[in-house]
Structure 1
């Protein structure tokens, strides 16, 4: 597989799924270095990440959810920008963000926009992840969002060290 998307719209549309298959399916974190420009910056739920920080985030995700699978769609391509929606499913069988394994399955969604340079390498990514839903599915946050539920969530987060 080429480490950079090609010039056709369809190849760019398939690129996010190919990326996930390589990074999560094959657990090949070095692939990130191949497809991100050295000065890549990511914006994830309001936090800016470097390549090194992003690889650590993916390492933690793989450790906590080694069976994580991503499905992308729809994916929209506009010149050097690719945007879309993804769904991740996986089972929490390892430590993740300081949280001991719960054995629970999760179904998490997110959206992304990635801009590529003239060489086909990602230079900037914006991503939003439904982290609250993940916390609900892991039993950290309540299913019903009420004031009492919010207080229980805070207590659970403090207890878990998040």
Structure 2
């Protein structure tokens, strides 16, 4: 995840980083679809050629087909599990900030002596609640972008490597 997707940057910069991450993930998904189609084509031709001989299916490529999917799935699962911690942190941020706003209101009401004081308490509470909501929303968006990018990365790496390797073998 990009450094500007963490915590203290300006909300517009943080939201821009989230949009950038989603755009890159979408582009990678498209590239992955093309590379997967190429890989399927190469492997289908290999399987058709292997049917002519009894030892044709001893090609290590056929074993690799299954094991690489398991490896990529495990890596993606680990990335998603890590990202769920970020969602938990976003929830805690939201709850903490809302609790701080409530404490501000109650402590202010205890000291309130005039309508002007009450208006000032409301202004501060509203500002803190809006800030907390914006911050929590950004944390949720950052966590979603992070999880999405991290879950696609292992499959993207494997699929692209397979397409390059099989294209080189066929050439």
Q: TM-score, normalised by structure 2?
A: 0.26
Q: Which has the larger radius of gyration?
A: 2
Which is richer in strand?
A: 1
Which is richer in helix?
A: 2
